[in-house]
Amino acid sequence: MIHRSPALLLLLIFADTAQAACGDPPRPDVIWIACNLAGADLKGADLRNAVLSRSSLQGANLSTAQLTHADLSFADLREADLSRAVMRDAHMVGCGPHGRSSREPICAVRGSTVPI
């Protein structure tokens, strides 16, 4: 007889959910935590209240995207295009050098009007 603890079952359920979320289509309230979205074309996407924390958005096209109240904490936004993106009340904590050999901050973005 196999005994499974409730904590282990919850861990398995949430692990599968978190991994599957990376393949979800862009929409308001989407949860993309630690997803590889490098180079993604998200131009004009409605990502209000989206959770994009710890995700790689390096080189992604987010121009004209709606990112109001989005969580971009610790996201890699190097070379991302945020021109004309709406980022009202977006959370962007965790800016800093992405490596010892480079002085470019992780959240340096092309076209952004957000003070970094």
Domain boundaries, the chain: 25-116
Q: In the predicted model, is pLDDT for residue 2 greater than 60?
A: no
Q: Which fold has domain 25-116?
A: Pectate Lyase C-like (2.160.20)
Residue 78: pLDDT band (50, 70, 90) is confident
- Mean pLDDT, residues 29-45 taken together: 96
pLDDT of residue 4: 55
> In the structure encoding, which two tokens stand for residue 73, read together?
């904490």
| pLDDT value of residue 106 | 56
Continuous segment of H or E residues that includes residue 20 = helix 6-21
Contact 68, 95 (CB under 8 A): no
Beta strands in 17-79 (DSSP E): none
Average model confidence (pLDDT) across the chain: 78
Task: Mark 3-27 as b/e (b = at least 16 C-beta within 10 Å).
Answer: eeeeeeeeeeeeeeeeeeeeeeebe
Percent of the chain past pLDDT 90, that is, above it, reads: 54
Report, as an integer, the average pLDDT of 76-82. 90
| pTM of the shown model | 0.69
pLDDT score at 94: 78
Length of the chain, in residues = 116
All residues at 6 or more sequence positions from 37 whose CB lies less than 8 Å from its CB, including other chains: 22, 52, 55, 56, 57, 60
The model's confidence at residue 48, banded by pLDDT at 50, 70 and 90, is very high
